[in-house]
Structure 1
């Protein structure tokens, strides 16, 4: 197995890391979609729409079309959650990575390189929410699909944990969605604990049951 090198981000990595991040995030929407359509309330809605359309129009074709529209709308809601998040990130901190992560105190951005190819990345920044003093946030973790299963994600996470220890942070915080199950299992194996779960601020996230999780790794307790 080829060794993977973790190094600081360079400007020449810009387009590659943005692409890895976008692909790695949006690929999870089918999992979220399957979860949505496993919910009893969704099928109750579908049945209610079908029966209402049938009673109103007397047409099975129109009723079936109405159901198809409901399914399409719910699918687009799930897809939009992921793509809106990616667009927001690419337009904010991922727009100028050097300025946001390498030219600010308490921040950093690393890439994983294998045989001259960028195969993953992770970032760190002070946790911006209330009560987040002395906490660093693990952000933008992503590994190219064909390079997964090699422990690269684990190594990148440990890079942030080491950074937190050396920088005097008391904890590492991260946020992910329940649909990113591989990442959730990785964080748990590394010793992160779920502290909060919530619905993000997008339309209909509660109805489609799109859950975000906040994990915490207490650095001082593990030194």
Structure 2
């Protein structure tokens, strides 16, 4: 068995390119992104959800393509203040084609997204993943994410999820997020 640089035991694929999403290439990539994500994730997302992320935070969305330009993997993210508290990065979607898994592609995509959020002064990064998605849990825990909450029946299919957070700065975990005051809330 060979050992790859990322320790997966599988050799990396040659001729893979990691690129930042470009809204000008929507016609080339958006359909492929939707198809790839819909195969793996349990939530059915409309075109508007994809555009919400990809138009506003294209600089935090990364793709893996092969030498022919075929989409192999994608991570879709955002970064904004969380309830008037810390700047929270959010990993909304991550998918890699089944036949290319186990070669460090997802890890590299997530690291690129993390680096992009850190460069934009993120305090923390959050995500949700199904409680029975062991490969995903292992990936995120290996990158330093902590399980912070169990979300019962979180997904439309009835599955529960873990909220996972990576705290990037000292003291962020103890910071209180502030909800805007609304006397009718």
TM-score tier after normalising by the smaller chain length? 0.7 to 0.9
Determine if the alignment matches structure 1 residue 24 to structure 2 residue 36. Answer: no
Alignment-derived partner of residue 8 in structure 1:
20
Distance in structure 1 (CA, Å) of the matches to 2:168 and 2:19: 22
Alignment-derived partner of residue 147 in structure 1:
100
The offset of 1:198, in angstroms, is 1.3
Distance in structure 1 (CA, Å) of the matches to 2:40 and 2:146: 23
SS in 1 for 2:49: coil
Counterpart contact for 1:172–1:216, Cα < 8 Å: yes
Distance in structure 2 (CA, Å) of the matches to 1:130 and 1:112: 32
5 Å-filtered alignment, 1:89-128, equals 89-94=45-50, 96=51, 100-104=52-56, 108-115=60-67, 116-126=69-79
Give deviations 1:123-164, integer Å, cap 9, x for gaps: 111367646631110121000111111100000110111011
More helix per residue: 1
Distance in structure 2 (CA, Å) of the matches to 1:126 and 1:92: 18
TM-score normalised per structure 2: 0.73
Alignment-derived partner of residue 185 in structure 1:
138
Alignment-derived partner of residue 172 in structure 1:
125
Distance in structure 2 (CA, Å) of the matches to 1:105 and 1:24: 22
Runs ≥4 residues deviating over 3 A: 127-133, 200-205
Distance in structure 2 (CA, Å) of the matches to 1:203 and 1:144: 23
The offset of 1:190, in angstroms, is 1.0
Counterpart contact for 1:101–1:107, Cα < 8 Å: no
More strand per residue: 2
Alignment-derived partner of residue 157 in structure 1:
110
With over 3 angstroms needed to count, the CA separation of the structure-2 counterparts of 1:7 and 1:135, relative to structure 1, is same
Q: Which runs of 5+ in 1 are unaligned?
A: 26-81
Counterpart contact for 2:75–2:95, Cα < 8 Å: yes
Distance in structure 1 (CA, Å) of the matches to 2:55 and 2:156: 35
Q: Which runs of 5+ in 2 are unaligned?
A: 1-12, 171-185
The offset of 1:188, in angstroms, is 0.8
Alignment-derived partner of residue 197 in structure 1:
150
TM-score normalised per structure 1: 0.61
- Highest Rg: 1 or 2? 1
5 Å-filtered alignment, 1:63-78, equals none
The offset of 1:3, in angstroms, is 4.1
